[in-house]
Amino acid sequence: MSLLDDFMMRAVLAGLGLAVAAAPLGCFVVWRRMAYFGDATAHAAILGVALSLTFSVSIFGGVMVVALAMALTVSSLGGRGFAMDTMLGVLAHSALAFGLVAASFLTGIRIDLMAYLFGDILAVMPGDLAVIWTGAVLVAGLIAWRWSALLTATLNPDLARAEGVNPEREQLVLTLALAITVAVAIKVVGALLITAMLIIPAAAARPFSRSPLQMALLAMVLAAWAVIGGVRASYSFDTPTGPTIVCVVAVLFTLSLSVSRMVRQH
C-alpha cells in the first residue's frame, strides 16, 4: 500500500485531525470521569444527522448543534438529585434510538447508517478534510487557551474558585469542545466509536506520564499511531477502517498496561 494513494492519504489526514482534537480532550474526560458524558453526546450525533438531512442543512453543523444541546442537557441535570450514571445511560441510548427512528422516516434520501454509526474514513473528501481540520484546530486551540483554568477546575473546583476561575464556565468550554469533536469524528470513526478515541489513548498514556501536559501530548502521539496503523491494517486485511483504528488503539492500551506493570515489578 502506498500512502500516496489519494483516498488513503485523505483517510490518514482525517484520522490525524481527529487525534489532534480527541486525545487532549480525552485526558479531561478521563480525569473528570466523564466517559458516559462523552457517550451520551456521541450517540446524539445520529439524531443530528437525521435532522440535518430532513432540513437540508450541513451535517457537521446539525451534529454539532444536537451534540451541544445534549451535552448542555447532561450538564444541567448534574446535581439535581438524579443518579448521574443512570441519567446518562437513559439519555445516551434514547438519543441513539430516536436518531435511528428519525432516520427511518427520511424519504427520497439515501442514508448509509453504518457509515454514521461506525465511520467511513475512506470516503473522506477534500472538503471533509477542511472541516475536520478546522474543527480539530478549534478544539486544540480552545484547550490550549484554557489549559491552566481547565486543569485547576478539574483537579480542585474549590481552589479554582479561590483563584477566580469559574468551574462551571470551564465545564462549558469542555462541553463546546466535546460537541465540535463529535461533529468532526462522526465521518471518521462514527457515533459508536467516538468515545473510544476520546478515552483509550488518554488511558494508554496515563501510566507513562509525569504531568498532565505530558499525558495529553503522549495521548496525541498514541492516537496518531493508531490512525496510521489502523488505516494500514484495514487496507491489508480488508476490514472496516474506523473499527480497525479503535482495535489498534485498544492493543496499544493493553501493551501500555503490560509494560507499566513490568516496570513496577522491577
pLDDT score for 260: 92
Average pLDDT for 185-203: 94
Give the pLDDT confidence score for residue 86 in this predicted structure. Answer: 80
pLDDT at 189 over 60: yes
CATH number of 6-195: 1.10.3470.10
Residue 74 in grid coordinates: 447532561
Map out the domains of the chain as residue ranges. 6-195
C-alpha cell at 266: 522491577
The DSSP line for 90-107 is: HHHHHHHHHHHHHHHT--
Q: Are 247 and 231 in contact (CB under 8 A)?
A: no
Q: Which of 7-16, 29-38, 234-243 is least confident?
A: 29-38
Mean pLDDT score, 224-245: 95
Give the residue with greater pLDDT, 15 vs 72: 15
Rounded Cα distance between 94 and 74, Å, is 13
Quick: pLDDT tens for 73-132.
877 776 555 666 788 888 888 989 999 998 888 877 777 888 999 999 999 998 999 999
- Number of helices (H) and strands (E) in the chain: give both, helices first: 12, 0
Model pTM greater than 0.85?
A: yes
Closest-CA residue to 197 (of 250, 259, 251): 250
Confidence bin at 145 (pLDDT 50/70/90)? very high
Return the pLDDT at 252.
Answer: 96
Predicted confidence (pLDDT) at residue 4 exceeds the cutoff of 80? no
Q: What is the pLDDT of residues 235-248, one digit of tens each?
A: 999 999 999 999 99
